[in-house]
Structure 1
Amino acid sequence: MSSINLILGSHNSQILDLSEADQKAQYEYSIKPFLKLLYNRRDLNFTLYYSGLLLEWLEKHHSEFVDVLLEMVRRKQVELLGGAFFEPLLPLIPKTDRIGQIERMTTHLRKCFGRRPRGAWVPESVWDQRIAASMNTGGLDYVLLRESVFGGGLPLENQFWPVLTEDQGKTLLVLPVAHHLSETLFQQTPEDVMAFLRRVNEENPPRQGGDNSALRPVVALMFNGAQIGYSPEQSAAAMVWYERFLDLVTANRDWIHVDVPGRMLQQGRPVDRVYAPASTVSALLGRLSPKGASEEDREPPGSGEALRMEKSSFRSIMEMYPESARLYARMQHTHVLVNQIRGDKYRKMTAREELWRGQSHFAYWPNSSGGIYRSNLRKATYAALIEAEKTTRERGVFIPAISRVDVDLDGREEVLYQGNEINAYLHRFGARLFELDCISKNWNYLDTFQRCPEEFHDEATVTAGYDLWPRAGFVDHLLLPENTAAEFSRGERRSLCDISSLEYQIKSLDKDHNAVVFRGTCRTDDTLVELVLQKRYRFIKNRIEVDYEIENTGMEALEAVFAVELNLSFHSLEVDSLRLHVRQGRLRQEIAPDMTELQGISDIQFHDLRNNTRIQVNPGERPDLWSFPVEAVGFLGDRLHWFYQSNCSVFRWPLNLSPGEARTISLSVKVEQNR
């Protein structure tokens, strides 16, 4: 009778910003009960993956769990998978980091459990062929990947066979994971799963492998451990389901062979060599849709956006989300800084560890954890990268400086100020500030989000509006007087010309005084107004001074509102996290972080209670103020969720200029620790 090889187990991860309460719930209701169930099923073998971050947490908080897992490994009931320690999207990180993270995970597992891993788990099965060589170099023999990576669109009889792949003369075995079935495991009945396995067995007669060995089809059922749930009720129901499923597997041992991959590969090795295409956007996003949405509600394959996503490389995520592109560029920039360390191995190792932590994939794309929509997850990722950069600075040698570097990889040089108290990154488009790091707190206050339409958005999301310009610092607008605050907050802007994305030239760069002057020209569409804008930044320790000079060089008078937008991102809008105070002349008052309109303000203070930091903005000539929060809708689990992104402050001055007339406007921002 023909038979199949079955791999059973789960993959388990931990995101960087997971709260203590969520960590405990994940352990108590997902991780712990599942291992307890497996421990009592000595008649079966299991394959498990725990990310490096999760293993560190388990060792620190639940050493008894690690002891039980060690016992199961020693009695050869469990095989642990390796991979990259901090779970990056492997093709996105430099080769040296890729191999380094793989070796870091291998070393950790060997020290903790006495055996080096032979196989690896690849996060989200994001693949391109270069990974094969890196895995081989890292000492790994096989990887587990979704069946769609190598067999997508093929008949069932061709999807569940181990294959051999190769890169640069280095080979790697690939075992297929029944991804859709794994991810919907507890939504099926155990009988339905058995019916699927029986069908695979019937349609896949044994083949001849290497050394004339018999090769069986392989089905790996590796579900995400988080599917077990975060409540006692969900956990109990999942354990009952899985116990029942294991009983059915045991009852059908005449045609189901359950084992760990390492031993399976000793019995027969594949001879077919296959090269897989790079993963697509569609494969990465997995067709996110709200809970309860039917197949008819989703974009059909082969039409419009769905077809574009299907054909696009997963790297197109960075085209779709500027936030992903900025985070990726920041990671690459930090990689360069870390690899410039010479002569201090310990400092380089410490910096590299933080760099690798900042490569954890969850913050780089939209996913069920919130992903790129989750502001605090992005903050945690930036925090690791900022900490890595700090470690590269040699004490007593580092001197604050301003320089020109293409830090965002767009082919144009940006202006970087790197200081002891703050980092500030300036873009030539709009001469805007797109990163503002508080060095002591490892916090990027300009880690903001530009709201964009999504396939899964509902009517309420559309009504809240989208952003047609970047959410950054010192974003300038030339508005019509009738433009309202409510319209502006929805992304509706009526302006004479778009100066928010105007390409400025760098007129001068004063390295002695850490100052830079940008110059640009804007012509209005329907008038004879021409404006020459000069924007000067000066960085003094923890303070940024910005001076504008606006000159009407056209042939017609200008009547408009000059507005400067500043978006600052905090932990949350909660009263124990953020407090706002505004001064109007001698009157200082606290305002709510909701929509607020005030006239003639002298300054605004943001009290970041989580970081014990105060940011004070001092505009010149007492402008009017619009202040409102920015939120964006992404996924959390299987439901839509409103994620806080930033607080937007818009400083507004009436601007009336006759031909040949000029005006100067100034603002300053100060970041300081509360005492």
Structure 2
Amino acid sequence: MHPAVRFVFVLHDHQPVGNFHGVVEDAYQKSYLPFLDLLQQHPAIRIALHTSGPLAEWLESNHPEYLDRLASLAAAKQIEIVGGGFSEPILAMLPSRDRIGQIRQYNHWLEQRLQTTVTGMWVAERVWDSSMTADLATAGVEWTILDDFHFKAAGLPNEELDRYWITESDGRTIGVFPGSEHLRYVIPFASPDETIEHLRFLASRRQGALAVFSDDGEKFGVWPGTHKTCFQDGWLQRFFGLLEANQDWITMALPSDVIRSDPPGGTIWLPECSYREMTEWALQPEQQVACVKARQNAKSDPNQSLLVPFVRGGSWKNFRYRYPEANEMYARMMVVSNRLARLSEQSITDKTAYQQAATSLYRGQCNCAYWHGAFGGIYLPHLRNAVYKELITAENALDRAEGRPATWVEAVSSDYDFDSKTEVRLSNEHIDLWLAPSVGGMLYEFDLRKQRHNLLATLDRRQEAYHDQVLVGPGEARSIIDPSQLATFKHEGLAEKIQYDEYRRKSCIDHFFDVDASAADIASGRALERGDFATGSYEASIRRNPDRMQVLLSRKGNVWGIPLTLSKAITLSAGSDTVELGYRLEDLPDNFCQHLAIEFNFSGLPSRTTGRCFRNKDGLDLGHLGTHLDLKETSHLSLEDNWLNIQATLDCSVASNGGHAGMWTFPIESVSQSEGGFELIHQSTVVMPHWIVTPDASGCWQVVIKLSVTGLAEATESLDQAKKISAGI
């Protein structure tokens, strides 16, 4: 006979690809290590543990002794090792080939390193799609854990959630455990006795009932206040002690043991879903609020309480709708995945490079930068940068695998971002440019192949539901993670920093402002757009030569109702690290006098840090990369980053009317939330050359802008050479 209740305790430890070493080390010291130390003091406490691939690789490099201890505990059957996708991807986001590849690769790594058998897996963020079942089974997965929220949405009552179930697709089946939302909220935030009482309730309802706790390991030490609660105040010690003291009716069970010993509750087909909060975060701000209120109203109304399980938010995939930047990363990832898949069917010149490309692709699929909820996610530039770094690394490796020549240039058009409109990719061995003719003719991705960095991994400022709490202010605002607690404000004056963008923060964005518009007006968003070019659709054509490609973008639009044609020609040559942008305005009336400003954004180059600054033509430091500059008659400006070995330089020719450019610079800073509280984050630096446009005798105006990106050593050499020429040496 089974004991009164069996308790399955599953932890998920994770750190994303690209996270800072110090952050991971802090989590190790505050959470992973002390938890393991305490667990080993209580051999009767058996748990299942998922350690994500990025964290496991970090541990192997920095604390291999921790992995050795996991192997010993797995051999002793105190810990069951749980698998997953190697880089902790959202599997619902991936094509089947990558789902299966990610799972198989990580299970192999775990089994080799920890000398154990892996039969189950952790589904990242519990984002579920029924099509995943067959892929998981194909990859060798026997069981997984989702939230009880999934099961309730499928129509199962609470009374049937104290057991595991089978789910099926394409004739393939796996076991699925329902993790308790109630236990997620009480462990470790309520008294340990509350969990024991909940287990007692389950035992009274059915002999042999199963209770499943599954949640982030970081809530035991990393989340605010939890290190003190769990370890200094002894919460975890008391919890383990209570479980041991009640062993006569509570048995700690491992998931694979339950699968082997128990029949399932039946077969259930679960809807596309995640945990409750995630489905809310995937909605637009107003819809988030409405969804939460609808659920609260249904709970409090006896006539509607049965509807509560069916009140849920949106699909995780629609984070790509909420944040176009997430869709850009996804689309870029799919380009690499499809290229890798095509190459696997062809002859491979360099098999090592092919394997490197696959590894980098998987790392570029790490989920954290693709969404945003209670944690920083897509708002954290270093996570977006890490995704692009891996995807660019994969592309470089695929070039080697294909045996691509050392010098080349190409232009290709396709619907890269799945919006039914054509984008253009213009690239050579140094630079990879991605253009969206239908969205202001903008340049939306600018990859540096050598530095493996996307200068346009930007993020627009947009409304978030929690901005209402920011406006309430410190001392009154509630924490998004624990509404019973006050929110932490990591910076002062955040309410005044909330600002929303009306267009994409990318490059080659063509603005027309009032003639007297000031730098302050532009930076604050007070300046009004007087033309229809910044977001309008451009026609695109490609001019091809063997060693030189040009994308010509043209739009017939208007400024203040005055019709005109704006064309911009983006030219890239083989072997070059310079992009030439030729702007031409045509059909201008004689009395035309308007203010044109062309916006460029540069991301991943942090502000207010040493080794990162603006420089003028003479190499003079003009301030950090968050500095507001209003430069008059300036033809040259560089952005320098010593850490990334990047110098990006804008050079503007004298305009056809003899005018010199002015340049405005200012930072794009967002107000967002993370587990640590509300914070201000530098997202990109705007550089905006601008001119007063008047026509020549033929009714035209034109200018050429050269955007060069080099390593700092190359840039210094060029500056020294320029100084010698200027001095007549």
TM-score exceeds 0.5: yes
- The partner residue of 1:313 within 315, 322, 331 is 315
Report the Cα distance in structure 2 between the residues aligned to 1:471 and 1:390, rounded to whole angstroms.
27
- The partner residue of 1:301 within 272, 294, 307 is 294
CA contact under 8 A between 1:570 and 1:608: conserved in structure 2?
no
Relative distance call for 1:78 and 1:463 in structure 2 (3 A) is: closer
Shift of 1:659: 11
- The partner residue of 2:183 within 181, 189, 195 is 181
CA contact under 8 A between 2:411 and 2:542: conserved in structure 1?
no
- The partner residue of 1:157 within 149, 156, 159 is 159
What residue is the counterpart of 2:48 in the other structure?
A: 47
What residue is the counterpart of 2:19 in the other structure?
A: 18
The amino acid of 1:401's aligned partner reads E
What residue is the counterpart of 2:440 in the other structure?
A: 430
Report the Cα distance in structure 2 between the residues aligned to 1:627 and 1:537, rounded to whole angstroms.
23
Structure 2 residue 214 is matched with structure 1 residue 222: yes
What residue is the counterpart of 1:646 in the other structure?
A: 684
Count of paired positions: 654
Shift of 1:309: 10
Report the Cα distance in structure 2 between the residues aligned to 1:558 and 1:337, rounded to whole angstroms.
49
What residue is the counterpart of 2:420 in the other structure?
A: 411
- The partner residue of 2:347 within 343, 346, 353 is 343
Report the Cα distance in structure 2 between the residues aligned to 1:598 and 1:309, rounded to whole angstroms.
54
Shift of 1:286: 5.8
CA contact under 8 A between 2:186 and 2:195: conserved in structure 1?
no
Report the Cα distance in structure 1 between the residues aligned to 2:631 and 2:197, rounded to whole angstroms.
66
CA contact under 8 A between 1:182 and 1:222: conserved in structure 2?
yes
Shift of 1:652: 1.1
Structure 2 residue 651 is matched with structure 1 residue 618: yes
The amino acid of 2:633's aligned partner reads G
Relative distance call for 1:507 and 1:258 in structure 2 (3 A) is: closer
What residue is the counterpart of 1:269 in the other structure?
A: 263
What residue is the counterpart of 2:603 in the other structure?
A: 569
Report the Cα distance in structure 2 between the residues aligned to 1:507 and 1:287, rounded to whole angstroms.
40
Q: Provide Cα deviations, 1:312-371, integer angstroms capped at 9, x if missing partner.
A: 321111111011010000000111122232333432221111000000000000144411
Shift of 1:599: 1.3
Shift of 1:187: 1.3
**Aligned-residue identity in percent:** 24
Shift of 1:93: 0.8
Matches within 5 A, 1:177-576: 177-182=179-184, 184-203=186-205, 205-206=206-207, 216-230=208-222, 234-235=226-227, 237-239=229-231, 240-279=234-273, 283-284=277-278, 299-301=292-294, 310-341=312-343, 342-344=346-348, 345-394=351-400, 395=403, 397=405, 399-428=408-437, 429-457=439-467, 458-459=470-471, 460-461=494-495, 463-512=497-546, 513-524=548-559, 527=561, 529-540=562-573, 541-552=576-587, 557-576=591-610
The amino acid of 1:615's aligned partner reads A
Relative distance call for 1:301 and 1:244 in structure 2 (3 A) is: same
Does 611-620 or 375-384 show the bigger shift?
A: 611-620
Structure 2 residue 638 is matched with structure 1 residue 605: yes
The amino acid of 1:196's aligned partner reads H
Shift of 1:256: 1.9
Q: Provide Cα deviations, 1:255-277, integer angstroms capped at 9, x if missing partner.
A: 32211011112221214111111
Relative distance call for 1:55 and 1:374 in structure 2 (3 A) is: same
Matches within 5 A, 1:653-668: 653-657=691-695, 661-668=699-706
> SS of the residue aligned with 1:567?
strand
Report the Cα distance in structure 2 between the residues aligned to 1:532 and 1:231, rounded to whole angstroms.
55
Report the Cα distance in structure 1 between the residues aligned to 2:201 and 2:265, rounded to whole angstroms.
24
Relative distance call for 1:303 and 1:65 in structure 2 (3 A) is: closer
Q: Provide Cα deviations, 1:526-565, integer angstroms capped at 9, x if missing partner.
A: 63x10111111111310011111112367x9433211100
Relative distance call for 1:469 and 1:532 in structure 2 (3 A) is: same
The amino acid of 1:331's aligned partner reads M
Relative distance call for 1:379 and 1:642 in structure 2 (3 A) is: same
CA contact under 8 A between 1:288 and 1:456: conserved in structure 2?
no
Relative distance call for 1:172 and 1:302 in structure 2 (3 A) is: same
Report the Cα distance in structure 2 between the residues aligned to 1:389 and 1:357, rounded to whole angstroms.
13
The amino acid of 1:590's aligned partner reads L
Shift of 1:624: 1.5
CA contact under 8 A between 2:282 and 2:318: conserved in structure 1?
no
CA contact under 8 A between 1:301 and 1:307: conserved in structure 2?
no
Q: Provide Cα deviations, 1:214-266, integer angstroms capped at 9, x if missing partner.
A: xx432222331211224998535413211211221222233322110111122
The amino acid of 1:397's aligned partner reads P
Shift of 1:302: 5.7
Structure 2 residue 669 is matched with structure 1 residue 631: yes
CA contact under 8 A between 2:149 and 2:309: conserved in structure 1?
no
Relative distance call for 1:301 and 1:445 in structure 2 (3 A) is: same
Report the Cα distance in structure 1 between the residues aligned to 2:62 and 2:74, rounded to whole angstroms.
20
Report the Cα distance in structure 2 between the residues aligned to 1:278 and 1:248, rounded to whole angstroms.
37
> SS of the residue aligned with 1:664?
strand
Q: Provide Cα deviations, 1:370-419, integer angstroms capped at 9, x if missing partner.
A: 11000111001100000000000034536321221222222222111221
Report the Cα distance in structure 2 between the residues aligned to 1:135 and 1:282, rounded to whole angstroms.
23
- The partner residue of 1:671 within 702, 709, 720 is 709
Shift of 1:92: 0.3
Does 515-524 or 216-225 show the bigger shift?
A: 216-225
Q: Extract unaligned runs of 5+ from structure 2.
A: 298-307, 472-493, 655-659, 714-729
Shift of 1:139: 0.9
> SS of the residue aligned with 1:537?
strand
Q: Provide Cα deviations, 1:8-36, integer angstroms capped at 9, x if missing partner.
A: 24110111222222222111121111111
Report the Cα distance in structure 2 between the residues aligned to 1:281 and 1:272, rounded to whole angstroms.
22
Report the Cα distance in structure 2 between the residues aligned to 1:313 and 1:281, rounded to whole angstroms.
11
CA contact under 8 A between 1:350 and 1:391: conserved in structure 2?
yes
Report the Cα distance in structure 2 between the residues aligned to 1:282 and 1:532, rounded to whole angstroms.
50
Give the TM-score of the pair, scaled to structure 1. Answer: 0.91
What residue is the counterpart of 1:86 in the other structure?
A: 87
Shift of 1:470: 0.6
Matches within 5 A, 1:18-37: 18-37=19-38
The amino acid of 2:436's aligned partner reads H
Does 40-49 or 468-477 show the bigger shift?
A: 40-49
What residue is the counterpart of 1:117 in the other structure?
A: 118
Shift of 1:281: 9.3
CA contact under 8 A between 1:185 and 1:223: conserved in structure 2?
no
Relative distance call for 1:147 and 1:232 in structure 2 (3 A) is: closer
Shift of 1:441: 0.9
What residue is the counterpart of 1:64 in the other structure?
A: 65
Relative distance call for 1:299 and 1:7 in structure 2 (3 A) is: closer
> SS of the residue aligned with 1:277?
coil
Relative distance call for 1:609 and 1:333 in structure 2 (3 A) is: same
Shift of 1:307: 13
The amino acid of 2:143's aligned partner reads Y
Shift of 1:511: 4.1
Q: Extract unaligned runs of 5+ from structure 1.
A: 207-215, 290-294
CA contact under 8 A between 1:480 and 1:494: conserved in structure 2?
yes
Shift of 1:184: 4.8
Does 60-69 or 389-398 show the bigger shift?
A: 389-398
CA contact under 8 A between 1:107 and 1:116: conserved in structure 2?
no
Relative distance call for 1:623 and 1:232 in structure 2 (3 A) is: closer
